[in-house]
């Protein structure tokens, strides 16, 4: 969903809160509305007429009204939370959902810094919205109230004095887009400079070892100069804005000074009215306009920039489609081809494979050759460029998501553990499983001791499995999949942090569990335990049993030899 639309929906969704806020604004505007009038009265009836105490009385009324305005402002602030926080809640929700449903995750490493950046943008939006509601709203209220006050004290001049102000505000509004653009460029340039410096400083060891201090310095310097240029361009736009607003407040004052003598002489304006009009213009309108211009250039632009950046960086969610229901759990790959782009060589090319329900396949090959991509294709998270992945006779990416997620389980190399009890973590894919079932699954993959040591199912795990080793975290993730009802289990280097004997135990446990097992192997020993082996080595894929491949494929034999020159392959059978 569009971030900008969501933002405005969230604000208008709290119409009541906004209305209450605006109602209190009226109170806040009263001092501006009455200030000139009251000072005028104090002079006309009091000090100007030689009656000191009447003058003081009007001034006391003036002070009282100011206090009333401050009270209104207090109410506005107290109610701000009711509008701002729900809006921030809504943004946080969409960001979290967006990040967690990002369709590009299967090909990217999880990017923690991007997440941090997005959450920072949300905070900026929160602060800036508050700033806008407080400052910009307050200043607009003050300006409007003062103009109305002006109209009631010096009615015949109101149009003439008000028009330049309105023209200035309109011109200012027209300048905003270019100001926003420059501000955004400046923000990007600043981020870019920090990134360039960060890259070089994080990699200083590599910079030194490459003797590349000159190149690295030049990269940072270029980013720094770009930022400096962008900052100056923002200033030019700000200066122009200041000029427009300055003229907008100067012209009415000069008009008043030029026109008033005639009107006073002909008795059309009282002294107090002239004084009041000047008070409105100089103590209310002029400062409010200047501050409005300043606040807008900082607060509103920060808001616009953050919303825009949020819209750009927040992942787009695409609705999951597919309504096919598979017939059985056989997997069939037909002419499967997949690559990242037009120029890129395919990672998987023309792969044909039939995997009957209950079969155990190991996928071996050098790192980076696209084994994980195959896992993405098998689970239906990615769609092939050519050919098809059929699950129960229908394309797996077209299977109804609920059915697919239940039938196929993937354990990737990066382990997912969250803050919560061990039970919650283990039951992630099987919410209805009993404690006995969870403990049984843990025992089968060899995690029984571990569960006992951390304090049983009720023990709480820290963030990202804090306190557990990488291997222990993997054991819990494996127990979780074992406890699920999935018919097809894919282990994508899910045992990379286990020692060889623990790995063997896990693979045996999954082989004994009913259902299809695909092991994307970290070690070649996995191949020895599988019914069949798929070798991916960048060329045409090889498929067969371990013995067949040893006999028919020189490359496979070499792989086995290179992997372990000192041991015979039989000694590794556990």
Partner 1 sequence: MARPGDRLLSSVIRRDWRWVFLVTTAVVGTTCALLIPNALAKAVDMALAGTLDAPTVLWLLTVTGTEIAVDTASIVVAAGLTSRATAWLRHRVAHHLLRLGHPAPFAAGDGVSRLTGDSAIAGGFAVLLVNLGITVVSSAGAVVALALLDWRLAVVFLASVPFGLLLVRTHMRLTADDVLAYQQVSGDLAARLLDAVGGLRTIAASGTAEQEATRVLRPLPDLAAAGIGMWRTQARMIWRAGLLVPTVQLSVLTAAGFGVVAGRISVGSMLAVLGYTALAMGIVGQLSQLTTLERTRASGTRLAEVLDSPAPAHGELVLPAGAGDLDIRGVYDVDLHVPAGTFLAVVGRSGSGKSTLASAIGGLSTPARGQVLLDGVPLSDLTSGSLHAAVGVAFERPALLGGTVADSVGYGIAVEDALVRAACEAAQVHDVVVRLPDGYATPMADTPLSGGEAQRLGLARAIVRDPRVLVLDDATASLDTVTESKVDQAIDSALPGRTRVVVTHRAATATRADVVVWMEDGHVRGTGTHDDLWQHPDYRSVFTGGDA
> Is 319 an interacting residue with respect to partner 1 (CB under 8 A)?
no
- Least distance from partner 1 to the Cβ atom of residue 176, Å: 16
Distance CA 456, CA 448 (A): 9
DSSP 8-state secondary structure symbol assigned to residue 47? G
Distance CA 516, CA 66 (A): 77
- Contact range with partner 1 by CB under 8 A, out of 164-172, 302-310, 383-391, 399-407: 399-407
Give the footprint of partner 1 on residues 409-438 (CB under 8 A): 409-412, 414-420, 428-429
- Contact range with partner 1 by CB under 8 A, out of 149-157, 225-233, 433-441, 447-455: 225-233
- Least distance from partner 1 to the Cβ atom of residue 478, Å: 12
Look at residues 100, 75, 39 and name the one whose alpha carbon lies nearest to residue 282: 39
259 or 332: whose CB is closer to partner 1? 259
Of 206, 327, 449, 452, the one binding partner 1 (CB under 8 A) is 206
> Is 78 an interacting residue with respect to partner 1 (CB under 8 A)?
yes
> Is 350 an interacting residue with respect to partner 1 (CB under 8 A)?
no
HSE of 85 in the Cβ direction (CA atoms, 13 Å)?
6
Distance CA 451, CA 472 (A): 10
Torsion, Cα of 328, 329, 335, 337 (10° steps)? 130
Residues 329, 488 contacting (CB under 8 angstroms): yes
Distance CA 50, CA 295 (A): 42
331-338 β-sheet, strand order: 348-355, 331-338, 386-391, 394-395
Give the footprint of partner 1 on residues 110-129 (CB under 8 A): 110-112, 115-116, 119, 123, 126
- Least distance from partner 1 to the Cβ atom of residue 202, Å: 4
> Is 509 an interacting residue with respect to partner 1 (CB under 8 A)?
no
> Is 398 an interacting residue with respect to partner 1 (CB under 8 A)?
no
In three-state secondary structure terms, 536 is coil
- Least distance from partner 1 to the Cβ atom of residue 399, Å: 11
- Least distance from partner 1 to the Cβ atom of residue 567, Å: 11
> Is 368 an interacting residue with respect to partner 1 (CB under 8 A)?
yes
Ordered alpha helix ranges (H), 421-466: 422-426, 435-445, 448-454
> Is 313 an interacting residue with respect to partner 1 (CB under 8 A)?
no
Of 9, 13, 18, 77, the one binding partner 1 (CB under 8 A) is 77
The structure tokens listed for 526 are 């996995």
Look at residues 498, 519, 493 and name the one whose alpha carbon lies nearest to residue 507: 519
Look at residues 454, 431, 427, 452 and name the one whose alpha carbon lies nearest to residue 441: 427
- Contact range with partner 1 by CB under 8 A, out of 7-15, 140-148, 155-163, 235-243: 235-243
Of 137, 302, 309, 404, the one binding partner 1 (CB under 8 A) is 404
9 or 283: whose CB is closer to partner 1? 283
DSSP string, 301-349: HHHHHHHHHHHHHSPPP------B--SSS-EEEEEEEE-SSSSSPPSEE
452 or 539: whose CB is closer to partner 1? 539
Q: How far apart are the first and last CA of the chain?
A: 52
- Least distance from partner 1 to the Cβ atom of residue 436, Å: 23
Residues 37, 149 contacting (CB under 8 angstroms): yes
- Least distance from partner 1 to the Cβ atom of residue 409, Å: 7
> Is 96 an interacting residue with respect to partner 1 (CB under 8 A)?
yes
> Is 102 an interacting residue with respect to partner 1 (CB under 8 A)?
yes
> Is 107 an interacting residue with respect to partner 1 (CB under 8 A)?
yes
Give the footprint of partner 1 on residues 482-501 (CB under 8 A): 492, 498-500
Distance CA 444, CA 448 (A): 8
532-535 β-sheet, strand order: 408-411, 488-492, 516-520, 360-364, 532-535, 542-544
Look at residues 18, 40, 32 and name the one whose alpha carbon lies nearest to residue 69: 32
The interface mask with partner 1, positions 34-63, x = CB under 8 A, is: -----x--xx--xxx-x-x--xx--xx-xx
Of 1, 26, 170, 202, the one binding partner 1 (CB under 8 A) is 202
- Least distance from partner 1 to the Cβ atom of residue 400, Å: 10
Torsion, Cα of 431, 436, 437, 440 (10° steps)? 140
> Is 357 an interacting residue with respect to partner 1 (CB under 8 A)?
no
Distance CA 413, CA 493 (A): 5
Torsion, Cα of 415, 421, 423, 427 (10° steps)? -50
Give the footprint of partner 1 on residues 149-188 (CB under 8 A): none
Distance CA 11, CA 83 (A): 7
Give the footprint of partner 1 on residues 515-554 (CB under 8 A): 522-524, 538
Give the footprint of partner 1 on residues 129-148 (CB under 8 A): 130
How many residues contact partner 1, by CB under 8 A? Answer: 171
- Contact range with partner 1 by CB under 8 A, out of 166-174, 525-533, 544-552, 557-565: 557-565
- Least distance from partner 1 to the Cβ atom of residue 8, Å: 19
> Is 1 an interacting residue with respect to partner 1 (CB under 8 A)?
no
206 or 452: whose CB is closer to partner 1? 206
Distance CA 386, CA 67 (A): 74
265 or 436: whose CB is closer to partner 1? 265
Of 18, 20, 92, 167, the one binding partner 1 (CB under 8 A) is 92
């Amino acid at each position: 969903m569009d971030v900008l639309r969501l933002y405005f929906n969230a604000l208008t969704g709290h119409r009541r809160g906004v209305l209450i806020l605006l109602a209190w604004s009226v109170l806040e505007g009263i001092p501006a509305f009455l200030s000139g009038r009251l000072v005028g009265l104090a002079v006309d009836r009091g000090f100007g007429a030689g009656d000191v105490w009447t003058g003081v009385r009007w001034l006391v009324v003036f002070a009282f009204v100011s206090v009333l305005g401050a009270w209104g402002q207090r109410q506005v602030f107290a109610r701000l939370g009711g509008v701002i926080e729900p809006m921030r809640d809504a943004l946080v929700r969409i960001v979290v959902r967006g990040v967690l449903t990002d369709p590009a995750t299967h090909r990217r490493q999880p990017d923690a810094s991007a997440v941090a950046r997005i959450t920072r943008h949300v905070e900026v939006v929160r602060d800036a919205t508050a700033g806008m509601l407080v400052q910009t709203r307050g200043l607009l209220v003050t300006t409007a109230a003062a103009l109305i006050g002006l109209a009631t004290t010096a009615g015949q001049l109101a149009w003439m004095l008000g028009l330049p102000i309105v023209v200035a505000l309109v011109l200012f509004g027209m300048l905003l887009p270019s100001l926003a653009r420059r501000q955004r460029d400046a923000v990007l340039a600043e981020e870019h400079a920090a990134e360039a410096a960060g890259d070089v400083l994080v990699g200083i060891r590599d910079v030194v070892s490459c003797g590349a201090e000159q190149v690295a310095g030049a990269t940072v310097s270029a980013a720094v100069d770009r930022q400096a240029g962008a900052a100056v361009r923002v200033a030019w736009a700000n200066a122009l804005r200041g000029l427009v607003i300055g003229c907008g407040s100067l012209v009415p004052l000069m008009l008043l000074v030029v026109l008033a003598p005639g009107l006073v002489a002909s008795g059309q304006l009282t002294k107090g009215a002239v004084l009041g009009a000047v008070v409105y213009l100089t103590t209310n309108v002029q400062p409010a306009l200047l501050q409005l211009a300043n606040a807008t250039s900082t607060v509103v632009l920060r808001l616009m920039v953050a919303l825009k950046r949020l819209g750009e960086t927040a992942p787009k969610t695409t609705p999951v489609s597919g309504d096919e229901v598979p017939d059985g759990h056989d997997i069939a790959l037909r002419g499967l081809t997949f690559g990242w782009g037009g120029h890129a060589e395919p990672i998987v090319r023309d792969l044909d494979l039939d995997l009957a329900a209950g079969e155990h396949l190991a996928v071996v090959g050098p790192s980076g050759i696209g084994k994980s991509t195959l896992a993405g294709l098998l689970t239906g998270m990615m769609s092939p460029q050519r050919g098809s992945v059929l699950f129960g006779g229908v394309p797996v990416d077209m299977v109804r998501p609920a059915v697919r997620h239940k039938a196929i389980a993937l354990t990737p190399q990066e382990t997912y553990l969250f803050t919560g009890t061990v039970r919650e973590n283990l039951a992630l894919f099987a919410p209805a499983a009993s404690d006995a079932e969870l403990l049984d699954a843990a025992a089968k993959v060899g995690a029984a001791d571990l569960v006992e040591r951390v304090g049983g199912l009720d023990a709480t795990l820290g963030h990202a499995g804090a306190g557990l080793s990488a291997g222990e975290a993997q054991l819990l993730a494996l127990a979780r999949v074992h406890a699920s009802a999935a018919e097809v289990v894919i282990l994508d280097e899910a045992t990379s942090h286990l020692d060889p004997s623990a790995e063997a135990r896990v693979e045996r446990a999954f082989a004994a569990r009913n259902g299809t097992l695909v092991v994307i192997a970290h070690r070649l020993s996995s191949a020895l335990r599988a019914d069949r082996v798929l070798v991916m080595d960048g060329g045409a894929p090889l498929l067969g049993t371990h013995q067949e491949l040893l006999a028919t494929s020189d490359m496979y034999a070499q792989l086995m030899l290179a992997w372990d020159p000192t041991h015979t392959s039989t000694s590794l059978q556990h």
